[in-house]
């Protein structure tokens, strides 16, 4: 098979569990005779290397491309991955048989969007989403403000990927059980990680007389370090004599606004001074192995875990284990107590009781656990067995993808459209372009030329003259009354933009409507791409794209697929849409109550509340002219708040349904009328007397730097941060 593995981490520039898994997995497939490509971001340059026969590593320099100017880092990175994958496919001249890509931070989002939107580059490639542990779960356990952008949106990207992938793969049954409900129609398959550690032969043997227990890994709340230390403290207080060594980097703890490790060192400073508690920073794997061999047992106390390499490595080196039940570590150790002990944090005192048993265990008991630990993990994660299991699984995914019909676009919108009959009569496949027109003669010719050059053939153009009073604009309009058979002009008295759109929709005979303001422009391919999606998916009601401003601005507004409750607080698209006429007339007609504007926004919201899904094409296919005298430029804060109040009243049922989640979003990010992009952090009013840094995404930057710190470039980044006097960033 030609297998591509897409990852955000890969040695040597990126460490961590994801990188270790990809390295082991790629080596395994390549040794098995498969053609393997690993694609990974690189901090410095793009390159292609061949690390062994059949294994190609493609590195690309990340943070390159215009989209980094208008998308947050991880969302832009997902977009860049889709671009890089597409470019490599075109360069190779052939497609991979299957792509495996990580779930973490929605890396697969734009590749899967393009696949489902029928991009010929991705359309028929099976995609397996490998579940490491998604952000939406990590943030929940780590007590991160998970409704704050961009984390909230990254979680939605991850959930979309779970629904959109051809198959889901997890190394632990624990994780599969925790998140299967996100995509109940896409069952998660469990295959343990492949693992093989070179035999350690530096003269070290296991010290069964040791009085030191070892924890290694990040000092992270999710890892259960705080709870472990409290349990250990209870035993020390009761007079039990043993040591605990903690090795690993520190992490930021949001509820306290500081690093967790710093807090724990302060709290247990007296134990550190007694020599019972030892903290060490991260060390190289070669230095870690002796620490594992010199420990009486290794503790994995996680509150939520997948299939941790800390447990894998420790068992490979024959460590007796003490692990929590909340993760794949319990699946490795097993409930038979032959390799170690499993405790449950939900059972009061269970950790202390199990730890005490290991404190009191004699040498024979520890030796037996050591032998069983070593043999059990070699059997469970045997590379040859794992290769065969994954070959069978990938083959099944490839075959299933060929026969599965995809007629419903994946969505997190939880409302289903109920209509079972057509309300309108129309011409199948025909597109009616509605152009409301009022005193815009200076721009009409350019807009009409844009509409006439589209590559979709079955088109009519309806110009709704909304009582134009400007003489020059009437002269321009009159040019199109004859000699343009595809153009119709409807003259009405001036009643505003909303009414003009509704009149145009009622006069149209196309199956699809498109709204185009008389001073805006469209790409020639926009309508054909949109209608291709509408023809394919019965649950998609309207399609739109990214928007590029022109005139007095040249920025880009990236739009996203409609989702609740975000759409209820902030508009996710402009009026440039291609919409099913029947759905628009049934659910989306512009309402008189929105007399001052935002009538299109309310219409899309009403449609979504009735189960109509909107889908964004992630390309700048429309151009919105920025004019100082446009209606939107006349808005003030009071009219915006009034119109949003009207919108909530009109759609009260859906606001009632999502009220609690909507409150959390607004509480975390400020008023929705200030948002226009969920991939960035928005300023909110700070808490505390001296809180002055809420206006930047400091914590997200901290977290990413800490993740990078385990790589060889991490220390350089941190030193550079200090040199630039950004000490506060890592405080």
Per-residue confidence at 633, pLDDT binned at 50, 70, 90? low
CA distance 247 to 250: 10
Q: What integer pLDDT is reported at residue 627 of this predicted model?
A: 64
Predicted local confidence at residue 417, as pLDDT = 79
At residue 720, the pLDDT reads 47
The rounded distance, in Å, linking the Cα atoms of 411 and 109 is: 12
pLDDT-based confidence at 712, cuts 50/70/90? very low
The pLDDT score that the predictor gives to residue 403 is: 85
Span of 142-146, 176-180, 476-480, 712-716 with lowest mean pLDDT: 712-716
Reply yes or no on whether the pLDDT at 393 is more than 50: yes
pLDDT for the residue numbered 481: 93
The predicted structure's pLDDT at residue 355: 98
Is residue 710 predicted with pLDDT exceeding 90?
A: no
Residue 727 pLDDT > 80: no
How far apart are the C-alpha atoms of 49 and 55, rounded to whole Å? 8
Model confidence band, residue 684 (pLDDT cutoffs 50, 70, 90): low
Q: Is the pLDDT of residue 691 over 80?
A: no
pLDDT value at 32 more than 60: yes
Q: Which pLDDT score, from 0 to 100, does residue 420 have? A: 63
**Cβ atoms of 282 and 709 closer than 8 Å:** yes
Confidence at residue 205, expressed as pLDDT on a 0 to 100 scale: 85
Statement: residue 728 has pLDDT above 60: no
Which residues, other chains included, contact 671 with Cβ-Cβ below 8 Å and sequence gap of 6+? none
pTM: 0.91
Whole-number pLDDT of residue 13: 84
Distances (CA, A) of 463 to 68, 124, 374, 495: 38, 40, 77, 15
Choice among 169-183, 325-339, 587-601 with the minimum mean pLDDT = 587-601
* 510-540 pLDDT per residue, tens: 999 999 999 999 999 999 999 999 999 999 9
Nearest to 436 by CA among 607, 576, 605, 646: 576
For residues 126-151, average pLDDT: 96
**Helix axis angle, 17-31 relative to 383-403, nearest 10°?**
90
As given in the structure block, the two tokens for residue 238 are 């009761």
Q: With 50 as the cut, is the pLDDT of residue 709 above it? A: no
- Whether the CB-CB separation of 328 and 305 falls below 8 Å is answered with yes
Choose between 285 and 362: higher pLDDT: 362
Residue 723 has pLDDT above 70, yes or no: no
Residue 690 has pLDDT above 50, yes or no: no
**Mean pLDDT of the 138-155 span:** 96
Contact 300, 310 (CB under 8 A): yes
Q: How far apart, in Å, do the first and last CA atoms of the chain sit? A: 48
pLDDT tens-digit readout, 552-587: 888 999 999 999 999 999 999 988 999 999 999 999
């Amino acid at each position: 098979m030609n297998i591509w593995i897409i990852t955000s981490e890969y040695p040597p520039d990126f460490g961590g569990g994801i990188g270790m898994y990809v390295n082991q997995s790629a080596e395994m497939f390549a040794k098995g005779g498969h053609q393997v490509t690993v694609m990974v971001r690189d901090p410095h340059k793009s390159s292609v290397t061949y690390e062994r026969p059949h294994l190609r590593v493609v590195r690309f320099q990340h943070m390159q491309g215009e989209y980094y100017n208008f998308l947050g880092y991880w969302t832009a990175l997902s977009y860049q991955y889709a671009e890089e994958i597409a470019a490599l496919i075109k360069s190779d001249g052939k497609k991979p048989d299957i792509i495996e890509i990580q779930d973490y931070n929605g890396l697969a989002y734009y590749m899967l969007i393009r696949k489902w939107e029928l991009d010929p580059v991705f359309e028929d490639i099976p995609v397996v989403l490998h579940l490491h542990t998604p952000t939406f779960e990590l943030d929940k356990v780590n007590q991160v403000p998970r409704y704050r952008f961009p984390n909230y949106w990254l979680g939605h990207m991850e959930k979309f990927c779970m629904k959109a992938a051809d198959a889901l793969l997890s190394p632990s049954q624990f994780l599969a059980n925790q998140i299967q409900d996100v995509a109940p129609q896409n069952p998660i398959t469990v295959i343990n990680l492949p693992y093989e550690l070179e035999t350690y032969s530096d003269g070290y043997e296991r010290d069964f007389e040791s009085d030191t227990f070892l924890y290694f890994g990040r000092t992270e709340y999710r890892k259960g370090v705080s709870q472990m230390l409290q349990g250990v403290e209870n035993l020390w207080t009761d007079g039990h004599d043993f040591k605990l060594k903690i090795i690993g980097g520190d992490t930021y703890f949001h509820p306290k606004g500081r690093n967790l490790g710093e807090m724990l060192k302060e709290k247990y400073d007296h134990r550190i001074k007694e020599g019972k508690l030892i903290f060490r920073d991260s060390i190289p794997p070669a230095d870690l192995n002796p620490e594992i061999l010199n420990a009486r047992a290794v503790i994995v106390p996680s509150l939520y875990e997948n299939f941790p390499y800390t447990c894998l490595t420790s068992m490979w080196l024959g460590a007796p284990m003490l692990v929590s039940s909340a993760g794949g570590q319990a699946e490795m150790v097993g409930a038979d107590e032959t390799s170690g002990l499993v405790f449950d944090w939900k059972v009061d005192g269970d950790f202390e009781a199990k730890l005490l048993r290991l404190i009191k265990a004699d040498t024979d008991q520890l030796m037996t656990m050591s032998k069983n630990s070593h043999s059990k993990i070699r059997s469970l994660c045997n590379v040859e067995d794992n290769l065969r299991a994954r070959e069978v699984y990938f083959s099944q995914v490839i075959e299933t993808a060929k026969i599965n019909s995809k007629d419903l676009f994946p969505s997190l919108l939880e409302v289903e459209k109920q209509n079972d009959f057509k309300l309108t009569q129309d011409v199948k496949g025909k597109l009616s372009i509605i152009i409301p027109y009022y005193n815009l003669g200076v721009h009409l010719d350019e807009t009409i030329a844009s509409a006439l050059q589209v590559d979709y053939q079955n088109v009519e153009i309806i110009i709704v003259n909304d009582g134009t009073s400007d003489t020059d604009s009437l002269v321009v309009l009159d040019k199109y009354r004859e000699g343009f058979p595809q153009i119709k002009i409807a003259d009405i008295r001036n009643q505003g933009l909303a009414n003009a759109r509704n009149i145009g929709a009622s006069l149209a005979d196309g199956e699809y409507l498109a709204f185009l303001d008389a001073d805006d422009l469209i790409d020639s391919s926009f309508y054909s791409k949109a209608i291709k999606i509408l023809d394919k998916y019965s649950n998609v009601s309207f399609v739109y794209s990214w928007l590029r401003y022109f005139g007095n601005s040249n920025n880009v507004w990236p739009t996203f697929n409609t989702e609740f409750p975000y759409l209820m607080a902030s508009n996710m698209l402009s009026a440039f849409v291609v919409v099913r006429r029947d759905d628009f007339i049934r659910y989306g007609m512009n309402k008189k109550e929105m007399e001052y504007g935002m009538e299109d926004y309310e219409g899309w919201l009403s449609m979504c509340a009735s189960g109509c899904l909107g889908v964004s094409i992630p390309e700048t296919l429309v151009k919105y002219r920025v004019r100082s005298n446009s209606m939107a430029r006349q808005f003030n804060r009071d009219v915006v708040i009034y119109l949003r109040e009207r919108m909530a009243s009109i759609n009260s049922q859906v606001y009632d349904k999502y009220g609690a989640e909507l409150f959390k979003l607004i509480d975390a990010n400020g008023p929705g009328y200030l948002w226009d992009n969920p991939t960035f952090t928005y300023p909110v009013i700070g808490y505390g007397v001296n809180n002055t840094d809420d206006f930047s995404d400091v914590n997200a930057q901290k977290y990413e730097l800490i993740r990078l710190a385990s790589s060889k470039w991490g220390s350089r980044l941190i030193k550079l941060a200090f040199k630039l006097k950004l000490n506060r960033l890592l405080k």
